[in-house]
Amino acid sequence: MDNREAKGGKTAAVLCSLVGTLILLSVIASCLVMALPRLFGYQVYHIVSGSMEPQIPIGSAIYVKETKPEEIKEGDVIAFWSKDTVVAHRVIENQVVEGRFRTKGDANAGEDMNAVEYDALVGGVAAHYPYIGGLMAVYATNAGKAYAVCFAACGAMFLVRAGRIRERSRAK
């Protein structure tokens, strides 16, 4: 075997290893941003409306931490149940005596028509990250889960191929 073949084999093995590692790391990282916060007591939700723009854009993921209603203060962003949907709006007033909040979406002209009762509170919005909510929406579907598994399998195949290229180079 000449020197060029050996270098070509090493280059192919390195490239396969690099691509495989990057693919696997991207799948792992994209799953961790959704799963890891849950281990620390956060709930993660996807923003689908523009009521909090520009502060929290459509497609963002919000990380919500359970908070006692009495600890919420004016200006905090909270997540709460409204029928079958979790909504994130800013608190205008915490009416402790009545056990409810007056809220408003930043992009809305006026405050919300209905007060938010304490028992509808999910928690305070601790953080938000643009675009991650869109990724959550993809992973929530069966097709999205299948894509993630296939993508990870492709990464693993690149790593296996790199190992075989190295073995073949050593054998020669």
Catalytic residue numbers read 49
Give the whole-angstrom CA distance, residue 166 versus residue 68: 58
Distance separating alpha carbons of residues 110 and 9, to the nearest angstrom? 66
Residues 27 and 22: their CA atoms lie apart, in Å, by 9
Where b means 16+ CB within 10 Å and e means fewer, 38-62 reads eeeebebbbbeeebbeeebeebbbb
| DSSP reduced 3-state for 37 | helix
Radius of gyration of the chain from its Cα atoms, rounded to whole angstroms: 24
54 cis-preceded (ω within 30 degrees of 0): yes
CA angle (98 as vertex; 122, 73 as ends), nearest 5: 55
